[in-house]
Copies of this chain bind each other. A is one copy, B any other.
Amino acid sequence: MSSLRIVVVGGSAAGPKAAAKARRMDQHAEITIVQKSADLSMASCGYPYYVGGTFQDRRQLICTPAGVVRDPGFFQNAKGITALTKTEAVAIDRAAHRVTCRHLGTGEERVLPYDRLVLATGALPIRPPVPGIELEGITTLQSMEDADRLRRVRDGKEVREAVVIGGGLIGVETCEALHLAGIRITVVEMLPRILSFLDPEMAMLVENHMRTSGARVITGNPVAAFVGREGRVASVKLRDGTELPCELAVVATGVRPNSRLAAESGLAIGERGGIRVDRFLRTSDPDIYAAGDCIEVPHLITGRPVHVPLGDLANLEGRVVGQNVVIPGTAEFPGTLQTGVCKVFDFAAGSTGLSERAAREAGFDAVSVVTAGADRPDYMGAKPLVMKMVAERGTGRLLGVQCVGPGDASKRLAEAAMALHGRLTITDLSVADLPYAPPFSPPIDNLVTAAHVLGNKLAGRMTGISAPEVRAKLDAGERPFILDARGPDEFDVMRLGIGETLIPLGALRKRLSELPSDRDREIVCYCKISLRGYEAAGLIEAQGYRNVKVLEGGILAWPYPREK
């Protein structure tokens, strides 16, 4: 029996994972990785942390935990895999089962025959087609070379002002990294809000935190041009005329699937521009599989194809492909929840499943709630978290969770992702048995609390009103009676200043006469997190008031300027 010949195009994340898994599945296969870059298996999600100085040795991005560099020698010796670096796959002859490769240094071509081919060609940065984009001092943060370049900027201490174009995951991570390097940063986002996987009121909380942390954030204002001086970028010009002087611009305006080779080979390309694959991650050619940033996969909730260029998915997909190239049809990748998280200064921000906007766009009758709370008991050094939970009205099925704040958001997003995988309902979440101990969690976990509040809303026991709805009412000149149910000490330290009346919950029963006499007047109650606000609302409704609402998430989730 002759050995199975497996060729893997792409050596970053999905490719090496597929190759390694294939090796574990078949000790006799001939496995070759074709990698355009000089490096292999780069921990590309770590670039911002190398640039920001979290660690000093760039080898940590390309080493095993035991400190061995993942170079071709490592792949040969430890895995029995041939890795051709600085080598580009330029053509696939599907009929003959051959890939033509070219060495980027020597130009030498060679032909690799395959029984099974894996495409893991990754994604390409999108560069906005504006004047000046070719100037010196404009870079991306997509490759080891980019990371090296920005790290030199950090260590050189010469750049004082930089602009990051794009407020997505990479944009905000790059912002923090350069800020840590002592550089004044402006993030420019063309959309109305950064981090478009979040609903707007959640994204605004992150923007506020970035500003408080010292970054400038400009939204809803695309780049019109890069202005140069002696061939180097000197400023960034925005559509509204704003000009931002800078010595460095980092373009982080997203990526698109690198599916050119696949398309040229006649493989089916999907509606998001990624290589189309079935649930075994097989392309339209039964002997060619694909994984990672170059493919599109189904969203597990909507069923629609999405392009999700994240390192964790690349690894999971690579493993599925590595198994299927050896024994076809034995491993499935059902799809993604588009789970993502990032660190932004002292905040974490992330999402899993559908945002409210995405749920509505997908045709769901979505209901949502914003809640706020501490991520552990106060006596254990609690940090606040703001959460938005989205569910389907009627069934109560969980559709998505967003989480933002200094507290442990990543844990709650992980819980939520698992709940989505299990197709749990709000009712299921309301009695979920999660690990509790004071160092790690409040007695009722934040996710369970959100389910409780959303359950109350679904059952008609609470009428919520979102911060944007309140803001819009005020801006339209409406004057609901607004009740802050906290104590006077708290009010002295922090308050919204939107015309609210302070009546502490504990005094409300005796001060009901201070409420408006009109039982149809709209009343909006809140406190720091709107638990006391909710209790106040119940008490007021019991007096016959018919239009009482609770400001969801209270002051902690209020994304607009406060009086104090």
Contacts and interface: CB of A to CB of B under 8 A. Distances in A.
A486 interface: yes
Interface string A27-67: 11000000000000001011001100011000011010111
Given A433-B352, A444-B315, A421 B419 contact: yes
Contact of A431 (B332, B342, B408, B507): B332
Given A65-B378, A316-B448, A378-B60, A439 B24 contact: no
Interface core residue of A24, A331, A378, A443 (most chain B CB under 10 Å): A443
A31 to B, nearest CB: 13
Nearest to A169: B437
Interface residues of A, number: 107
B413 A415 contact: no
Interface string A338-371: 1111110000101010000000000000000000
B422 A506 contact: no
Nearest to A50: B379
A414 B424 CA distance: 15
Given A13-B443, A410-B411, A45 B352 contact: no
Q: Taking the full assembly, how many copies of this chain does it contain?
A: 2
Contacts of A319: 430, 452
Nearest to A410: B440
Contact of A444 (B25, B49, B312, B423): B312
A535 interface: yes
B433 A312 contact: yes
A224 interface: no
Contacts of A68: 487, 506
A54 B444 contact: no
Interface core residue of A27, A427, A433, A439 (most chain B CB under 10 Å): A433
A243 interface: no
15 contacts: A43-B438, A60-B378, A61-B379, A74-B506, A312-B436, A313-B433, A316-B431, A320-B431, A334-B431, A341-B437, A410-B439, A415-B418, A417-B435, A421-B433, A422-B424
Given A60-B378, A80-B509, A350-B435, 10 more contacts: A23-B535, A43-B438, A315-B443, A316-B430, A319-B430, A333-B431, A341-B435, A352-B433, A408-B411, A410-B437
